[in-house]
Chains A and B, each alone.
Chain A
Amino acid sequence: MKYLPLAFVLFLFFLATPAYSQISNSDDFNFQRAYADYIYNFDIYRKANIDYELYRSQYLQFKTLKSQENAYNATLTMLKARDSTVETYLTAIRKKLDETPGADGAKKQILFTKIDPEVTWHIAHSDSLPSAGTLEDLTGDSDAAKVRFQSDVPLFYETLVAVSGGKVIYAREKEEAILTSLKEKIAEISANGDKNTQLIERWILDTEEKIVRSKEKEAEAYSIVAKASGQGSLGAYNEALIKLKEAYQYLKEANSFLEEIITEVKFED
């Protein structure tokens, strides 16, 4: 009976431990969180842009000091919201790439070194926007952001292609691992002499060929995106995506071949 309070305290401790870890995990900044931030900031930007359009037209109509002040404040809010939108978008695609299983490690690092300075630039740009000044000052600041955003567009698409490519690599690596195990098993069957493995070995070659063709399509996709710049980025992205879909289709076919080979192994000649 005297140990009852101690047992109760221990019980509470064990209950509290998982709760603490859950809180700790929920604090981790992941893609879901980054994406939610982006959507939130994009929503704020949309409202700010509506206000900017309204006060801009009022200023152009009345040209009063009050309408000028209102236009200045609305534009400042819009420019800040726009910078935050670009910053959170870059962070979201960075997190997406980071969390995509299969995304090439070296390629990831190269893209991160391109994304991170852009995030920093947009934060700095937002902080540098003057709380008081002229409308012309804001126009100049906006133009600077416009140039930066246009130069960022190819980076956006390059990152998105890397994300899609990561999914292809993930499936391919899994297939290659299964294929390696299967080849080992077939070598074992051949050594035991339980079954004629000639047909299966030929099918293995067919499967390997599908994987090789998938790799070729993948390489074509990366080459298309690497060559793209500025205005042609969207077209290049779509073209690269088609190549990656073709690569994925080859992998699906290879997977179906693997299934057939395993079925063949499970039956006698």
Chain B
Amino acid sequence: MENQMIASSNQAVKPPPQNFLNKVKGVFLSVAAKLKEVIYYLRVPSRGAEAEGEVPSHGISDRTKKIVTGVSAIFFLLIILLIAASYLRNMGEKPAEEVKEEDSLQTTIVERKASRYATDEAVLKMEGDVKALEEEMNKEDLEEKSLPPPNLNFDVNFTE
């Protein structure tokens, strides 16, 4: 009795994993047995009917049909749920990133204020000079393409 009490209190706190595994194993075995039964009926419908003691018109018992339908329905539901979950997760992440980028851009523009040198004459002159030089440099071709040395004929002789 004392031992039983100790056992029950232990179970309440933490069920022994052995029992849980046994239960799972039992469920799998029963599903496997059912599947074997279905395969058996599909392959030899007459023998399956003999074993059940009933002879359904199509060779598969109603109970087996219900189990197969149920299992396949659960399987498809799980697939649909997985697809829906991954789709929703992707949808939820993307807009969050875009909003972040916009926020950072806006803050950069808003935070920069013109200094008192923005209208300084010397600074504006330097800016103009730099831009003019940039334009000049982009237009300029270093190579003097119009002045290659002339290609002349120096082969002057009167012998064949």
What is the count of residue pairs linking A and B with beta-carbon distances less than 8 angstroms?
126
A256 and B149 CA atoms in complex are apart in Å by 35
Residues B152 and A79 in contact, CB atoms below 8 Å apart? no
Given contacts A160-B147, A178-B126, A181-B126, contact A268 B112 (CB under 8 A): yes
Instruction: Determine the distance from Cα of A191 to Cα of B106 in the docked complex, in whole angstroms.
Output: 33
Stretch of A2-10, A18-26, A167-175 contacting B (4+ beta carbons < 8 Å): A167-175
Are B149 and A35 closer than 8 Å at their CB atoms? no
Q: What are the interface flags for A232-269 relative to B under an 8 Å C-beta threshold, 1 for contact and 0 otherwise?
A: 00000000010011001001100110110010011110
Interface residues of B in 113-159 (CB under 8 A from A): 113-118, 120, 122-123, 125-127, 129-131, 133-134, 136-138, 140, 142-144, 146-147, 149-150, 152-154, 156-158
Q: List chain B residues, Cβ under 8 A from A45.
A: 150, 152
Q: Is the CB of A266 within 8 A of B152?
A: no
User: Which of A153, A248, A258 meets B130, CB within 8 Å?
Assistant: A258
Contact B156 A79 (CB under 8 A): yes
Evaluate whether A149 and B156 lie within 8 angstroms (CB atoms) in the complex, with A259-B130, A266-B117 already known.
no
In angstroms, Cα B157 to Cα A71, docked, is 11
Q: Decide: A175 near B133, CB < 8 A? Known: A185-B123, A267-B113.
A: yes
Interface SS majority for chain A? helix
Which residues in B have their C-beta under 8 angstroms from that of A143?
Answer: 154, 156
Interface residue range, chain B: 35 or more
Contacts of B146 in A (CB 8 A): 35
Residues of chain B within 8 A (CB-CB) of A225 are none
Query: A256 touching B144 by the CB < 8 A rule?
Result: no
Chain B minimum-CB-distance residue to A72? B158
Contact A178 B133 (CB under 8 A): yes
| Contact of B160 with A60 in the complex, beta carbons under 8 Å | yes
Q: Judge whether A222 is part of the interface by a CB distance below 8 angstroms.
A: no
Q: Is A30 an interface residue (CB 8 A)?
A: no
A85: Cβ under 8 A from any B Cβ: yes
Shortest CB distance B150–A (Å): 5
Q: Which residues of A contact B (CB under 8 A)?
A: 35, 42, 45, 49, 52, 56, 59-60, 71, 75, 78-79, 82, 85-86, 89, 92-93, 96, 135-136, 138-139, 142-143, 145-146, 149, 153, 156-157, 160, 163-164, 167-168, 171, 174-175, 178, 181-182, 185, 189, 194-195, 241, 244-245, 248, 251-252, 255-256, 258-259, 262, 265-268
Please, could you name 25 A-B residue pairs with CB atoms under 8 Å apart, sorted by A?
A35-B146, A52-B153, A56-B158, A71-B158, A82-B152, A96-B144, A136-B158, A143-B154, A153-B149, A171-B133, A171-B137, A178-B126, A178-B130, A181-B122, A185-B122, A185-B123, A241-B142, A245-B142, A248-B137, A255-B137, A259-B130, A265-B123, A266-B114, A267-B112, A268-B115
Q: Which 7 A-B pairs have the closest CB atoms?
A: A142-B156, A146-B154, A266-B118, A156-B149, A164-B142, A268-B115, A268-B113
